[in-house]
Structure 1
Amino acid sequence: MNQNARLTKTMCETARMGAEAIGMLLSKTDDEGMRNVMLSQKAMYEKFDREGEKMLTEAGQRVKKQGPLARAGTWMGIQMDTMMDNTSSHLADMLIQGSTMGVIEITRAKSENPEADGKAVELADQYLKEENENIERLKKYL
């Protein structure tokens, strides 16, 4: 697999995981503002997943879907983490931590794939920009 594909695949997997986690978190808030921020962030993840998957398909590659065990682990972690505290502040904290992990993953993937170029790097850079904007938007809920 070439470096463009590796970078794009990492971005897709990271975006997909974020979208799934937010999908599980949406029912935990009654705060309309927080819900709108979460929906916007989920839509961003879905957009990057689609764009990346399209690029990978054109290159003859596929993104591995998260398995049921991993999804169950994510669900269980979210349930446990929100059982005692599902305030907007706590949800924002969880989302900021997840977004920060995404920034780290994409930044690491860029470093590990220095020969990646063109659309793959452009998409990864846009992902990082929007993910950092998500973090800033969420800070007002802390």
Structure 2
Amino acid sequence: MNYRQLQNSVYQNASMGVTALKSMIPMVSDSNVKNLLIRQYNGYKAQKELTARQMKECGFTPSEPSFMSRMMTAASVNMQLRRDSSGGNAAKMAIKGTNAGIIELTEKLNHTSCSSPQAIQSAKEYLRREQKNIESLKPYL
């Protein structure tokens, strides 16, 4: 995996977070959890913009996750929160999604041949923020 692939993985990870939380936030009934999800959403949005800017500076265009992937995520979120919009369920869903993203990005980071210390450091910082997001949601389980 090279620089472009690693950066695109971060971009897609953040994009999926934006998609999922954009669907979740309006449906969550617990204001404390909703505020945490809004903060996480804003972090994903900022990461997505930063990564896109860094890629464009290097002459690359980030690619969005597939339309089908985004639609399936939004539909799944809507279905699950229609049954239970409690803070506990929303926290559980967000933690599961965040963990899935952590696993995917960690695998890619562990198998990268990217020679850009900046890109590797940026991906590791993103993963640290993701761990903090999980920790902030755990009390609501």
What is the TM-score with the length of structure 2 in the denominator? 0.93
Task: Encode CA deviations 1:57-88: one digit per residue, 9 max, x unaligned.
Answer: 11111111234433321221112212211111
Identity %: 25
Task: Encode CA deviations 1:2-25: one digit per residue, 9 max, x unaligned.
Answer: 711111100000001101110100
Contact in 2 for aligned 1:29/1:86 (Cα 8 Å): yes
Contact in 2 for aligned 1:7/1:116 (Cα 8 Å): no
Secondary structure of residue in 2 paired with 1:90 = helix
Contact in 1 for aligned 2:23/2:74 (Cα 8 Å): yes
Aligned to 1:53: 52
Q: What pairs up with 1:1-142 in 2 under 5 angstroms?
A: 3-142=2-141
Letter in 2 for 1:77: S
Deviation at 1:46, TM superposition (A): 1.0
In 1: Cα distance, 2:2 partner to 2:95 partner? 28
Secondary structure of residue in 2 paired with 1:62 = coil
Task: Encode CA deviations 1:34-74: one digit per residue, 9 max, x unaligned.
Answer: 11100110111111111111111111111112344333212
CA RMSD of aligned residues (A): 1.4
Deviation at 1:112, TM superposition (A): 1.9
In 2: Cα distance, 1:105 partner to 1:62 partner? 21
Structure 2 residues not aligned, in runs of 5+: none
In 2: Cα distance, 1:83 partner to 1:141 partner? 19
Moved more, 2-11 or 19-28: 2-11
Deviation at 1:30, TM superposition (A): 2.6
In 1: Cα distance, 2:135 partner to 2:90 partner? 14
In 1: Cα distance, 2:104 partner to 2:67 partner? 22
Letter in 2 for 1:57: K
